[in-house]
Homo-oligomer: A and B are copies of this chain.
Amino acid sequence: MNLKELSNLLGLSQTTVSRALNGYPEVSEATRKRVAEFAEKMNYQPNPNAQRLAMGKSLTIGHVVPVADHDMINPHFTDFIAGAGEVYNRRGYDMLISVVNADEQVKTYMDLVRNKRVDGVIVHGPTNDDERIAILNEMGLPFVVHGRTNDPDDSYSWVDVNNEESFREATEYLLSLGHRRIGLINGWEHMTFAAKRRSGFEAALRSHNVEPDENLMISREMIEPNGHAAMCQFMESGRPPTAVLCSSILTAMGALRALRERDLTPGKDISVIGFDDCLSFLPSTGEDGSLTALRSGIRLAGKHCADILIDQIENDTGNRGLLLQAEMTIGASTGKAREPAPA
């Protein structure tokens, strides 16, 4: 059933039917109702490809997902698209996912826009100097960044979490417990969020006259095995830290595993704080309170990104930035430092 057939059956022109269906003001209430009811009865649905071609719009949002290491998708992505997908569904958009090698990213964006494949994109995993911001702005493709870059905050839309501040806060907390040798198991620091976290971490240390120690800062992909390896490296070094900050719940899990293997008790022998993105398939740190954590749900970030992007596409609302607050919950994995703090 297409528009032509439908309008023939109704004895109206395609134009009128189209207008009635799309809520144009000039069509009479009577015909609008008649058309709507008949379309419903005939189970008519417009062909999106034709619509897209005619309007030059795609009603689709693109996600370009770089695969790191040739074969891994960031597990946080699942929760992000759960949030975003819900919004797309509600607002009538499709989600198009391109899984590409990291070095094909820009090309993929350009193809998407040239081909009018999407009306906007979500930018994942922004780096400090991310070339994509300038390129997308130049192309005029609406986009929202999940995270931030070094570009001015008002030169693009973004949804981010208070990385610097929350890590400063967490570090301050550890310092207040008497810890002076504090380790950081971070994500890749060319990613802005990780760089910011390190900044907050170092700032807190310096404000307490503790010089950051390169040997206590490790930067890796945030997966469980890397958290484990990093903690092992710490423990096997001559002077292990008395507390460790992990940038992800996954690395925190790995770190805790390394402690267990050594029969060390978190919160007693060594303190651990993790950043918890509230991944839905993992235990929520809030429930049993076993882990002291900074928490901010990544699914929520997905929702906000989607809503901001669609607002921007449909209503030309300008650039918008949204800073989510990660909150610290004190659990059992942190405690007073055993080593006396150096004078």
Contact present for B86 and A99 (CB under 8 Å): yes
Q: Does A212 contact B (CB under 8 A)?
A: no
Instruction: Give chain B residues whose Cβ lies under 8 Å from the Cβ of A99.
Output: 81-82, 85-86, 88-89, 95
Closest approach, in angstroms, between the C-beta of A193 and any C-beta of chain B?
17
Instruction: Give chain B residues whose Cβ lies under 8 Å from the Cβ of A95.
Output: 96-99
**CA of A47 to CA of B54, assembled, Å:** 12
Q: Does A320 contact B (CB under 8 A)?
A: no
Binary per-residue interface labels of chain A (124-153) against chain B in the complex, 1 for a CB within 8 Å, 0 otherwise? 000000000000000000000000000000
Q: Does A225 contact B (CB under 8 A)?
A: yes
Q: Does A34 contact B (CB under 8 A)?
A: no
Instruction: Give chain B residues whose Cβ lies under 8 Å from the Cβ of A287.
Output: 225
Instruction: Give chain B residues whose Cβ lies under 8 Å from the Cβ of A98.
Output: 85, 89, 94-95
Closest approach, in angstroms, between the C-beta of A87 and any C-beta of chain B?
9
Closest approach, in angstroms, between the C-beta of A190 and any C-beta of chain B?
20
Q: Does A343 contact B (CB under 8 A)?
A: no
**CA of A75 to CA of B228, assembled, Å:** 21
Binary per-residue interface labels of chain A (25-61) against chain B in the complex, 1 for a CB within 8 Å, 0 otherwise? 0000000000000000000011111101100001000
Q: Which residue of B lies closest to A104 (CB)?
A: B89
Instruction: Give chain B residues whose Cβ lies under 8 Å from the Cβ of A89.
Output: 98-100
Contact present for B224 and A49 (CB under 8 Å): no
Copies in the complex: 2
**CA of A224 to CA of B58, assembled, Å:** 39
**CA of A284 to CA of B254, assembled, Å:** 12
Q: Does A11 contact B (CB under 8 A)?
A: no
Instruction: Give chain B residues whose Cβ lies under 8 Å from the Cβ of A71.
Output: 82, 86, 280, 299
**CA of A341 to CA of B256, assembled, Å:** 36
Contact present for B73 and A280 (CB under 8 Å): yes
- Given A85-B99, A96-B94, verify A115-B73 contact (CB < 8 Å): no
Q: Which residue of B lies closest to A63 (CB)?
A: B97
23 pairs, CB–CB < 8 Å, chain A vs chain B? A45-B111, A46-B115, A48-B116, A48-B117, A49-B52, A49-B116, A65-B85, A67-B82, A72-B280, A73-B78, A75-B75, A75-B280, A94-B98, A95-B97, A96-B97, A223-B280, A223-B281, A224-B282, A225-B282, A225-B283, A228-B283, A254-B283, A260-B260
Interface residues of A (CB under 8 A from B): 45-50, 52-53, 58, 65, 67, 71-75, 77-79, 81-82, 85-86, 88-89, 94-100, 111, 114-117, 223-225, 228, 250, 254, 257, 260, 279-284, 287, 299
